[in-house]
Structure 1
Amino acid sequence: MEDRKLTVRAVERALDILMCFTKATDLGLTEISSQIGLHKSTVHRLMATLEEKGFVIRDAATEKYRLGLRIWELSAHLSHSDDPAVLLLPQMEQLRDRLGETVSLYLLDGMERLRIQAVQSKQAIRRVAPVGARLPLYVGASSKVLVAFADPGILQAVLSSPDWPASVDKEDYVRQMEEIRSKGYATSYEEREPGAAAVSAPIFNHAGQAAAALSVSGPVSRLSPQTLIEFGPILVQAAREMGMMMN
């Protein structure tokens, strides 16, 4: 029984290490050790195993690690019918070409939203949206959409979170949830990031559940509050069509 516990702990630590690469491309032992709270010697042993199996590659010159080809082999075998990041990509590209701004796809993951796909704007000045980014649920158009159309328990959990910022009024946030459910989409104007604006709509699956949030974002110089309102119905329709494609 003790051996089994140790094995599970080792797997958890190895997965924690791999998750560090969602925030950076190249990492050294010290950086990884600091992020996951393990001694460098322990991290070194785990990295040696991951390297042997092809999940990471070590650069001898810099002594830093990056993800290995084995990761890409796994991702290549994702089921297109089950993975919205793959399934909805062509429609996201069409929406980007129509509106001219960056299009992102988010999932609710615990008390965060996770960007699982992004199609960058082709304009010189654009909003760059890195895939794999995790963002809080109390600000941002996509966050508000995911909370507004989720189980009511999610809203209560967000409101009672110790991470809730004092600068965000809870009563106003609850009012926004009601308005979003009524309109079918959410907007944000420099809420999370200065100079950035976004509009988002829920993607419902066949069971009528909000499975994801579709978002269009860009600089406030192009996305004025009025433009966000004009984009809202377009995004709702695009999200409805995408929802029909999901299982």
Structure 2
Amino acid sequence: MEEPKANVRAVERALEILLCFTDSTDLGLSEIATRLSLHKSTVHRLLATLENKGFLIRDVQTEKYRLGFRVWELSANLTHNDDPATMLLPEMERLRDLVEETISLYVRDGYERIRIQAVQSKQAIRRVAPVGARMPLTVGASSKVLVAHDDPMVTAEILNGLEWPDYVDRDSYEEQLEQIRQLGYATSVEERELGTAAVAAPIFNRNGQLVAAIAASGPSNRLTQEKMKQYAPYILEAAYRMGKMMR
């Protein structure tokens, strides 16, 4: 028997509430209602259910919510084979020590990329890369890698679906994609953030499917084009080893 649409919508809204905490540690009822454009009464009922099930915890003093122990219990059951962020961490640390810059692991989610793991550089001045951050696919070395090396039909779908910001030339972007396919890696200098640069390579699994992008990033005055060209073979080699580890 098909579930009533109202019940399905309630599940969707509950999940949307949990997703609000991907970029915030604690949120109040009004903040969540505003983010989701829902009535406070609707959000209050859903929050009460999520709190009762242990997915959220409410601070009685501030009246704000944060993720509860059930979320951590679920994440603890991710296996190495299911979770590249855990499985590839030793290789990321090895690469960090080799190039002495911050290493990040990205996956594509729709028209965005998400940083799912990061190993910070040990340099005094370094690029700090928060895990969970979402970024557009129109800029950045990792974004271009994820678009260039995906299945051609997927790439075409992404390009047709992306909303192009005024500061990004579409024709130039597509030319860069072709260059990236030939080189095997991508670079970027101050495309998304002033003063930063990055070099990235694709990670393919044993079946040749693109699963992630690995990138080294740092201050642009230190991570120059010459340095990125020098580091590219190390990143490509690391990406190859990482791919062999994934089913």
Normalising by structure 2, we get a TM-score of 0.95
The corresponding residue for 2:42 is: 42
The corresponding residue for 2:178 is: 178
The alpha-carbon deviation at position 125 of structure 1 amounts to: 2.1
8 Å CA contact 2:95–2:234 kept in 1: the answer is: no
2:182 matched to 1:143? no
2:87 matched to 1:108? no
Partner secondary structure for residue 160 of structure 1: helix
Partner secondary structure for residue 103 of structure 1: strand
Amino acid at match of 1:42: T
Partner Cα separation in structure 2 for residue 24 and residue 144 of structure 1: 27
8 Å CA contact 1:139–1:191 kept in 2: the answer is: yes
Partner Cα separation in structure 2 for residue 30 and residue 90 of structure 1: 41
The alpha-carbon deviation at position 4 of structure 1 amounts to: 2.4
Partner secondary structure for residue 175 of structure 1: helix
Any idea what the Cα deviations from partners look like across 1:102-151, whole Å, max 9, x if unmatched?
11111111111111111122223221211111111111000000000012
The corresponding residue for 1:206 is: 206
The within-5 A match list for 1:62-211 is 62-161=62-161, 163-211=163-211
Unmatched 5+ stretches in structure 1:
none
Partner Cα separation in structure 2 for residue 180 and residue 158 of structure 1: 16
The alpha-carbon deviation at position 2 of structure 1 amounts to: 8.3
Amino acid at match of 2:65: Y
Unmatched 5+ stretches in structure 2:
none
Q: CA RMSD in A?
A: 1.5
Any idea what the Cα deviations from partners look like across 1:68-88, whole Å, max 9, x if unmatched?
111111100001122111110
Report how many aligned residue pairs link the two structures: 247
Partner secondary structure for residue 31 of structure 1: helix
Amino acid at match of 2:114: L
Amino acid at match of 1:39: H
Amino acid at match of 2:35: Q
Partner secondary structure for residue 239 of structure 2: helix
Amino acid at match of 2:126: R
Partner Cα separation in structure 2 for residue 239 and residue 105 of structure 1: 10
Partner Cα separation in structure 2 for residue 123 and residue 62 of structure 1: 38
8 Å CA contact 1:138–1:158 kept in 2: the answer is: no
Partner Cα separation in structure 2 for residue 216 and residue 2 of structure 1: 48
The alpha-carbon deviation at position 3 of structure 1 amounts to: 5.9
The corresponding residue for 1:10 is: 10
The corresponding residue for 1:233 is: 233
